[in-house]
Structure 1
């Protein structure tokens, strides 16, 4: 008996590549739509397309890899989490989301960044001016963000640009989020740290830079991370301060870094000569915002995050289980 053509089709899983034929691309899109929007079973989709179930699995994986499909959990699930409520109550925060730990710190950071990226648009409204910091954590959030247009939205770079071994600059974080939110982007076209305080003052007075700094001050919401004061701190790796400078700040009680500026364990600023050489948001300007969205992942970030919270810079927190528990232990 001759083989049934339908059963013979695609016995091996069909992988979709960038050079795939139009039929394969069409199958991928149809499979994703049927599975995620119509709720059809994979076996039913296979029969509909005339392919194997293994091929359907590959189509769905490829659709997610290309960003055609994005699977999310509703943020309220995490707000209801007991750790979230404990943290909010303990520190007087408006809202907290705690995400499950990954298999290592990198995986945990990815989870927290993805969760924060999904939560962020729900915290924004038309007309908002969102100030965006920099660093690995904020970059991961911006990289994980989905396209979520918000009317009359402005995204503002909070600190000047600085070379970093991580492969991105401050403007990358703000530009990524502006693109995802379909927002106007105000980048700060100046270095974060200059060699001379007089030069920094002069450059800040330039009309174009002055307008950008005014946009920084006008932000009603911010998203940022709490930098550490360890030897591997981002401020050292990026050259904001050298190791000797970091040791001086630590000797004076530095516990965390916000946008390149140092604070102690209570959140009070620790002044230094570098402040006059910096172009970007000040610590005073970071306080009292309608929303200060702190993203922190990793037990070593608990102490910096605690300093930031105690200083009144944060209203919202996205973190992982291990960091949440460490925060509660340190606050006890």
Structure 2
């Protein structure tokens, strides 16, 4: 039924009432069927235009922080709807930056998982690799390996695995893991990536994967005392975008702060009231070269 309703509407130009009369349905049933057809991938809509949704706000954001690439999605009362909206523009932003043969390094962030469903379906000659290890057995967070694989599957690209946890049990263990050939080669590939795709985490519990999964209240307090306001793929920074030493830096398996900043293009995908200060610091310090966020967050960043 979904396919019939979708074909009548999108291919044959029939309106909701005409379809309802033809198939013996109500207009509400037709509307719900069309919405479900989009959710289930029966209908895919492509808009061949690069016109921004909020041009004035985009210009204000770019002017204030000196950033050339800003992507602003609509905000919704339901957080999951906003997440999907941001994911849609995140996919568009990434695809606009890709060139044949490019390599993309993917950071540690649950927000990045929202991009994959909207990525592709063009077959892309690109490579996607994690910029940091994964959290084995994690339930609440999505690993960079999973995001890399999902993006590659969506676009027919190549995905590399970084076979390591993002946090080793000790400094010695971390050094040994980094020296493993498969780990070393994946990290080397990430270091020379053309594009970095990152989320931005905060320093309060509930606002970032690293804080939520690795740090006690005492360690968080120590970070805040040093001036930390957020992290990018496990590396913490202050209001000016300067690196702040964290309690688990020597145990992390992934790109260092300096290596992240050396990537030519660094796309930050983040939104929400608890991320405004973090995003502002990342923009002020030049940590990210492109931003994908929602209307409410962008508005807060410009006022």
TM-score in terms of structure 2 length: 0.89
Quote how far apart the aligned CAs of 1:227 are: 0.4
Unmatched runs of 5 consecutive residues or more in structure 2? none
1:292-331 correspondence runs (5 A) = 292-329=266-303
d(CA) in 2 for partners of 1:52, 1:137: 38
Q: Does 1:222 align with 2:201?
A: no
Cross-structure match for 1:237: 212
Cross-structure match for 1:89: 63
d(CA) in 1 for partners of 2:198, 2:240: 18
- SS of equivalent residue, structure 1 residue 318: strand
Q: 1:38 to 1:289 in 2, by over 3 A?
A: farther
The aligned length equals: 300
Q: Is the 8 A contact 1:298 1:323 kept in 2?
A: yes
Q: 1:166 to 1:104 in 2, by over 3 A?
A: same
Alpha-carbon displacement from aligned partner over 1:218-264 (angstroms, at most 9, x marks no partner): 2110111110011333223222x322222111110001111011111
Cross-structure match for 1:213: 187
Q: Select 2:246's aligned residue among 236, 252, 272.
A: 272
1:98-247 correspondence runs (5 A) = 98-142=72-116, 144-163=117-136, 164-166=138-140, 168-233=142-207, 234-239=209-214, 241-247=215-221
1:22-101 correspondence runs (5 A) = 24=1, 28-45=2-19, 50-52=23-25, 54=27, 56-71=30-45, 76-78=50-52, 81-101=55-75
Q: Is the 8 A contact 2:106 2:128 kept in 1?
A: yes
- SS of equivalent residue, structure 2 residue 166: coil
RMSD over equivalenced CA pairs, Å: 2.3
d(CA) in 1 for partners of 2:89, 2:76: 13
Q: 1:109 to 1:37 in 2, by over 3 A?
A: same
Q: Is the 8 A contact 2:219 2:247 kept in 1?
A: no
Quote how far apart the aligned CAs of 1:307 are: 1.5
- SS of equivalent residue, structure 2 residue 135: coil
d(CA) in 2 for partners of 1:129, 1:81: 30
1:8-23 correspondence runs (5 A) = none
Q: Is the 8 A contact 1:155 1:184 kept in 2?
A: yes
d(CA) in 1 for partners of 2:263, 2:109: 20
Q: Is the 8 A contact 1:288 1:313 kept in 2?
A: no
- Of stretches 285-294 and 183-192 in structure 1, the one that deviates more from structure 2 is 285-294
Quote how far apart the aligned CAs of 1:86 are: 0.8
Q: Is the 8 A contact 1:145 1:177 kept in 2?
A: no
- SS of equivalent residue, structure 1 residue 166: coil
